[in-house]
Structure 1
């Protein structure tokens, strides 16, 4: 072999290495903007799709290279930094909907990051947290390093006329295919591309502007007020509104939950019937999914569909009457049991409860169960002793959002058959710690969720059979489906609603409307959650009870 042949061989090997490096760099850059979530985990997976943002970026870089203006060191750092933001945006865009069942709202969600992190990290050993932080930093450093290397390879290739030509041609062809697919419905080429990450940033910017510069609450003033009610059908009985946290319709629809919980529901129904209680059930569409429980609470109490934080803030700034004020005006003492409140709650001034039992006011000194610490059974029993046991009192309207079925659904307090024991300091067993990995694992969460539903049903059944006043009327419903990491994101926003009373004639009014007897609701939602408030007021009014059929629009909103 002569020297010329050896030289050509080295050149060919070098060229092959350059081409392979360029293909590898393009694969890295493309993959970091097109990956998908591995449900139900925080992991990601590679998918064979193209990134339209990378295609446009390559065309821009080809244009600058033709003019001899390739980025210098400072511009390369900015390029890597900007691309890193797009990678993070992609991760949020595919992970949050997969785990929560809704898109992220950076403006409002960022205000809850600290509390959510504290909720999931409660009782996690320090060494696990440090290990997770080190792993996160290592992943971040590896990503930055890969992006630096990838852009260095691409920019070196752009300095070569031949590579520049085929990169430009390839980018133009891809962009043409993407555009043709957008313009022609029958052309499938758009499906070869991942959804643009830039859409996330555009949407987040729109949401920030809507929440700040363009905030508009005029829609609220045009809404009809809640109907009035004389509540004669209650005969001065107490009214309870319980929101079971994360109690969604999947407990009846998903075999993973419905099969194992069927006996719990049928057993509870038999026990309550034997104790003289009647029940009717239905489904409604919640205004939220996987979280933001306060949107469902305010929708029910206000009679308005409060579906995002902007609507919620508009409601709080208004003077609209709610179920709380309606019952208060009728002589009821209004009480809120809010064991999940560990910080100031300015919303309470809007609702105007006569008494608020938050985390501190409940004075729980037993073992801490998760971030909120207080067992729901304890909260209910303590308020029962303080508000319901006294004989000389006004009728009560009790609002109680439970907390023990909140993600991550563990650690869970044991149900105490002897309710007086739960009020004894330290009587309950000390909760076991829950590993961080279990809190983020979909299957582990699903099992914990089933146990939390059983706990809720046990507390409900125990209270009705042993403590609830005989004239009481109870509405028990879910605030939203559990996060998508438990049941999936492609499910309805339906939640069950159960009504309990010893007055069968009163519940027959609801059956005539579309509810059915028993604990199992029919398929299909009667309407949206905000219609329940007006429905309740009309159903309990002595004069308008006969016309209650018109109170609930029987519509089924599209599945989100």
Structure 2
């Protein structure tokens, strides 16, 4: 192989390592014909260093290799996370949840699969390091020859000028030939870290309006259920890949509920999060203000702001939360003011475990119904229930039990359930199919509860917390989620339609506002 061919291959490899794009809907990458401004800058600086002081020593070569590897990893994160999650990464906040998310996706994966995957990842990293070391060494060798150094330096300088000109004048089609710099992402992450720590404005929430007080007379002492369907996004209406498979279930649900006296109205609201971070949506609704990131959430918990829970408690309601996903102490729950939180151990589930979350949503709702809703001579209830079975990776999914009393048997027998291999958990098409099944399960649980068990005077508000991760439905979609209200009271349905809801299970095309607007609406 000639020196020219070897150098061309090395430069092509180094350029591709900083310009690849995500191959959606997977975690893989694909080549794109773009140029790396970082590579141009590196070659130009190295040409100057070699001309001034000679070839870099071993220590400097190691630093350059380490820095370039960091850029490659940064590029992978920068193109993969938005493609799979649907939003830009925030390393400071997101890294704190990485262990839990990883454990969730690897739950019930066979040990041999984990070992094989770990070895494959280690082998891939080794290949990347060896390839980068060879490519950088080839470039540095070429820079040691005066003629090639002048040529490479001039070429790098020309590319830097083209990039700068394109940035200064958007009419010039130059900057578009370059990939977005990885260094810009790293600088932005540094700024976000400073904003989340040293520059954090802890008084941002202080001037926000409080939830209004209310005697809740419009509810006529009826119960209120607030049920968050995990990952239930507006794409289930907007994207034919999801709306068509779910159309029959929606129609059947609406007809079956209408037959027993339930009325429904629907709308859209804009969530404060996308693809994850459900607690941000929960707190936005309960606090009546937009909680956009973990910093807002932590700031909220330090305040004494009233919540939807405390407003209902002040009106004489008993307030309970169904939190089957909680397996550890949750001191943050004290902020909301619930009378009782049914976390995993309090639900006393003894059946088969379904994935990372273990407890079927149907069981959780039924158990709290027995302990709270079905009691005689009780006060009205506010029941807050964030579901878990439609959480990514959407499997294994428990079977819906038409006879809810089956749970009274407390069977510990293993019920066959739908599981997913590790490769399927990372594949967009497989996840999309599992997502549809999980939404059908939500509809089955909701419909069954309303038809068989729900109090006749209850108002049931169900909504999504956020769109599913972008690996399921795509990145360039809205942050909107559906919200439905079910009641037998015509006056309540009229109140919601006056506020912008539409009769039926299909919401209108535009959002009423942020998810935080629902709290004041419930308190009118």
Q: Provide the rounded CA distance (Å) in 2 between the counterparts of 1:51 and 1:324.
A: 53
Match of 1:478 in 2: 464
Out of 322, 336, 339, the residue aligned to residue 337 of structure 1 is 322
SS in 1 for 2:212: coil
Are residues 1:387 and 2:369 paired?
Answer: no
SS in 1 for 2:298: helix
Q: Provide the rounded CA distance (Å) in 2 between the counterparts of 1:467 and 1:347.
A: 31
What whole-Å deviation, never above 9, does each CA across 1:25-84 have from its counterpart, x for those lacking one? 111111100000000001000111011111111111011011024321111111111111
> Offset of 1:532 from its aligned partner?
0.9
Match of 1:558 in 2: none
Q: Provide the rounded CA distance (Å) in 1 between the counterparts of 2:181 and 2:202.
A: 31
Are residues 1:317 and 2:302 paired?
Answer: yes
Task: Tell me which moved more, 465-474 or 16-25.
Answer: 16-25
The structure number with the bigger radius of gyration is 1
> Offset of 1:431 from its aligned partner?
2.4
Are residues 1:398 and 2:391 paired?
Answer: no
TM-score, with structure 1 as normaliser: 0.92
What whole-Å deviation, never above 9, does each CA across 1:5-44 have from its counterpart, x for those lacking one? xxxxxxxxxxx71111111111111110000000000100
Task: Tell me which moved more, 474-483 or 216-225.
Answer: 216-225
Match of 1:162 in 2: 147
Change (3 A) 1:427 1:378: farther
What whole-Å deviation, never above 9, does each CA across 1:481-532 have from its counterpart, x for those lacking one? 0000000000111100000111011110111121110111111111111111
Q: Provide the rounded CA distance (Å) in 1 between the counterparts of 2:300 and 2:515.
A: 16
Match of 1:103 in 2: 88
Contact 2:267 2:511 in 1 (8 A): yes
Instruction: Give the CA RMSD over aligned residues.
Output: 1.0
Out of 415, 423, 426, the residue aligned to residue 400 of structure 2 is 415
Out of 37, 57, 60, the residue aligned to residue 52 of structure 1 is 37
What whole-Å deviation, never above 9, does each CA across 1:326-349 have from its counterpart, x for those lacking one? 011111111010111122212101
Taking the TM superposition and a 5 Å limit, the aligned residue runs for 1:252-401 are 252-401=237-386
Stretches of structure 2 lacking an aligned partner (at least 5 in a row): none
Q: Provide the rounded CA distance (Å) in 1 between the counterparts of 2:312 and 2:382.
A: 7
Q: Provide the rounded CA distance (Å) in 1 between the counterparts of 2:217 and 2:464.
A: 27
> Offset of 1:427 from its aligned partner?
6.0
Out of 125, 134, 152, the residue aligned to residue 149 of structure 1 is 134
Stretches of structure 1 lacking an aligned partner (at least 5 in a row): 1-15, 539-560
Q: Provide the rounded CA distance (Å) in 2 between the counterparts of 1:198 and 1:153.
A: 24
What whole-Å deviation, never above 9, does each CA across 1:72-123 have from its counterpart, x for those lacking one? 1111111111111110000000000000001111111111111111111111
Contact 2:257 2:447 in 1 (8 A): yes
Task: Tell me which moved more, 95-104 or 418-427.
Answer: 418-427
SS in 1 for 2:283: helix
What whole-Å deviation, never above 9, does each CA across 1:352-406 have from its counterpart, x for those lacking one? 2110111111111111111010000000000000011111211110100000000
Out of 207, 210, 228, the residue aligned to residue 213 of structure 2 is 228
Q: Provide the rounded CA distance (Å) in 1 between the counterparts of 2:434 and 2:396.
A: 9
Taking the TM superposition and a 5 Å limit, the aligned residue runs for 1:481-500 are 481-500=467-486
Q: Provide the rounded CA distance (Å) in 2 between the counterparts of 1:325 and 1:513.
A: 24
For these two proteins, the number of residue pairs brought into alignment is: 523
SS in 1 for 2:485: strand
Match of 2:424 in 1: 438
Taking the TM superposition and a 5 Å limit, the aligned residue runs for 1:202-217 are 202-217=187-202
Contact 2:395 2:418 in 1 (8 A): no
Contact 1:367 1:430 in 2 (8 A): no
TM-score, with structure 2 as normaliser: 0.98
Task: Tell me which moved more, 214-223 or 185-194.
Answer: 214-223
Match of 1:523 in 2: 509
Q: Provide the rounded CA distance (Å) in 2 between the counterparts of 1:246 and 1:173.
A: 48
SS in 2 for 1:221: coil
What whole-Å deviation, never above 9, does each CA across 1:441-460 have from its counterpart, x for those lacking one? 11100000000000000000
What whole-Å deviation, never above 9, does each CA across 1:164-210 have from its counterpart, x for those lacking one? 01111111111111111111121110000000101221111111111
Are residues 1:247 and 2:253 paired?
Answer: no
Contact 1:414 1:428 in 2 (8 A): no
Contact 1:286 1:529 in 2 (8 A): yes
Q: Provide the rounded CA distance (Å) in 2 between the counterparts of 1:270 and 1:427.
A: 35
Match of 1:194 in 2: 179
Q: Provide the rounded CA distance (Å) in 1 between the counterparts of 2:234 and 2:16.
A: 37
Taking the TM superposition and a 5 Å limit, the aligned residue runs for 1:34-49 are 34-49=19-34
